[in-house]
Chain A
Amino acid sequence: MKCDCISLPPQLFNQAFPFHIVFNKNREIVQVGNVLQRISSKPLLGSRLEEHFRISRPTIPVDFNLIYQRSHSIFLLESLNSEIQLKGQMMPADEQDVIFFLCSLWVTDVSSLTPLGVKLKDFAIHDPIADFLFLLQVRNTALADAQKLAAELTQKQTELKAALDLKEEMANAAKAQAHQLEKALEELRATQIQLVQSEKMSSLGQLVAGVAHEINNPVNFIHGNLVHAEEYTEDLLNLLDLYQYHYPQVVEEIQKEIEAIDLDFVKDDLTKLLRSMRVGTDRIREIVKSLRNFSRLDEAEVKGVNIHEGIDSTLMILENRLKAKPEHPGIKVIKEYGPLPLVECYPGQLNQVFMNLISNAIDALDEYALRCPPEVIKSNPGQIWIRTQVLNREWVAISISDNGPGIPAEIQSRLFDPFFTTKPLGKGTGLGLSISHQIIVERHNGRIRCSSTPKQGTEFVIEIPVRQVHFQAA
């Protein structure tokens, strides 16, 4: 078939395909593009194709017929002598028994062109390889950008994390400081309360001790003179009896006076009266002794103390509240004292704790008695148990329990909080148990706990070390 198409003159063909190769059936190179010839290390024209190239795609040997058969494939030729790779199309020209390899230089890295001495102008203007090279470079730039951005991002993430960590650290520090401040404030408040209470107790102690001392002296006069008064009275009564024996007949005026004063009753009652006065002064002396024991103005120092004396003094002071009265029934105190050694403590403070716990028990029982029908109280009268025991060589325990209404579980955990009270407004300060806790735990390195079952009663257990020396040294 004859073709009337116009074809490129050889010079222009060379410009259009500066890397082309034409070879014949013997694989002899009969024509080469000028740029390919220039960059090849050996002359190509007249030599065989396989002396310079191998076919990497398709995987066939350099054979004219095989190349002819695969002319629809993309061909990739690798130079045996340099880094040159050619990509293109095999176009058999049957009339001339030759194959045209229309190709261009194939590179995947712009830098690989420099050693070959290839310039952009060496490529035909229509050849997209130049655009491809440009794209390759742009891809590299974009990759570098991406890597830089990723590094910046990582750096910023690290900085952010560090900033967040710092922020968290600072927040934690602030929180810890706030907590410490709160704790310090709480301690300050507790100390203030303790101080006020101590001051109050100290003043009260001084007052009580002063009053006790002032009462003690006149009571001792009375008590001491009562012995003589009893003797003298007995002597006078004996003398009177002698008179009546030796002078049975008395004048009328004396007889009238005897009847008027009811001499027999006076004689009988005077002895009883003096005995009663003696009982009264004994009681006053006991109370004075208890007051002085309770107030214990020597509390500034730790000393070995008989705990039972402290409890007894407290009970003596509270005796009036334990007695039956029209408005409430009596409360029975059951003492179960174990054989305690002398315990090193601040006796005045410890007595204050006993006073708080026993007063609370009395308050609870009184309030319970008001709420419950009398028959219930009669069948189950108010009782307070005070037990002491030695836990081991180093610790003793004092338990104060009652059979009152008990404490609801939900408020048990708040019992020792300052200002917490269940008593009506104006009746309780909410400081008794808080101060007791402080005295036992902080001043005596001991423990205090409460266990309570509603409608069955409440028990406070105090455990304190027998000696404070170890703790104070620590």
Chain B
Amino acid sequence: MYGLVNKAIQDMVRTNFGEEAWQNVKQKAAIENETFVSIEGYPDDLTHRLVRAASEVLGLSSAAIMQAFGEYWVQYTAREGFGELIDMCGDNLPEFLENLDNLHARVGIVFPKIQPPSFECTEVEEENLNLHYYSHRQGLTPMVVGLVQGLGKRFDTEVDVTQTKSREDGDDHDEFSVKYKKASATPRHC
């Protein structure tokens, strides 16, 4: 997992729960050096430890943490300089979700070690689509829900995300049904 993810978790805990909570998380996760380099690859285990520790310290389930993190991730990456790239990836939620795979593909091309997940949009309609999530990593699926919700906020769109398929149930990937409705009256262009 690249450092930007760990930095975002750190930032989320600090911003929402304070420095003391972060120090507790850090201590529980047995992390000595809290300085993460955004584009450096770190062991997945470190990220999992952080999530588990945050879950313990904050009294939330790992899934709740990951979902909150997914939502925070959108704000965080935009703030950390990727806002323009995000803006370039689409004018609205469905357009962005359709570009999501290309965005991750380009990350994977530039940094082969990162092994980013893959996404696919099917049955794209006026107010719903199915989002397919392919990843060899476990435990990050709830993050996708938060991610879509975060994107909804960014594009001023009401979103309802429901997981319809799960790797835990034996499927080869996770699938989400995404229902959305632009808050403003502006018509959507794909």
Contacts and interface: CB of A to CB of B under 8 A. Distances in A.
A161 B88 CA distance: 46
Contacts of B35: 149, 152
A111 interface: yes
B17 interface: no
B85 A110 contact: yes
Interface in B1-28: 3-4
A287 interface: no
Contacts of A111: 84
Contacts of A138: 38-39, 110-111
Given A135-B110, A149-B37, A119 B84 contact: no
Interface stretch (A50-58, A125-133, A322-330, A381-389): A125-133
B171 interface: no
Interface string B63-84: 0000000000000000011101
* Top 9 closest pairs, chain A to chain B, by CB: A120-B88, A110-B84, A141-B38, A119-B88, A134-B106, A145-B38, A141-B81, A142-B39, A131-B106
Given A140-B81, A145-B39, 4 more contacts: A113-B84, A131-B110, A137-B82, A144-B81
Nearest to A109: B84
Chain A contact residues, majority secondary structure: helix
A212 interface: no
Contacts of B95: 121
Interface in A244-281: none
Given A113-B88, A120-B99, A145-B39, A134 B110 contact: yes
Given A141-B39, A145-B38, A114 B81 contact: no
> Range of interface residues on chain B?
20 to 34
Contacts of B38: 138, 141-142, 144-145
A103 B157 CA distance: 36
24 contacts: A110-B84, A110-B88, A113-B88, A119-B89, A119-B91, A120-B85, A120-B102, A121-B90, A121-B95, A125-B102, A131-B106, A133-B85, A134-B107, A134-B110, A137-B84, A138-B39, A138-B110, A141-B4, A141-B81, A144-B80, A145-B37, A145-B38, A145-B39, A152-B35
A118 B88 CA distance: 7
Nearest to B111: A138
A152 B37 CA distance: 13
A386 B71 CA distance: 102
Contacts of A125: 102
A154 to B, nearest CB: 13
Contacts of B81: 137, 140-141, 144
Interface string B96-107: 000100110011
B101 to A, nearest CB: 11
A114 B84 contact: yes
B109 interface: yes
Nearest to B82: A137
B56 interface: no
B76 to A, nearest CB: 12
Nearest to A137: B85
Nearest to A148: B35
Contacts of B39: 138, 141-142, 145
Contacts of B88: 110, 113, 118-120, 133
Interface string A142-157: 1011000100100000
A145 B103 CA distance: 22
A134 B109 CA distance: 10
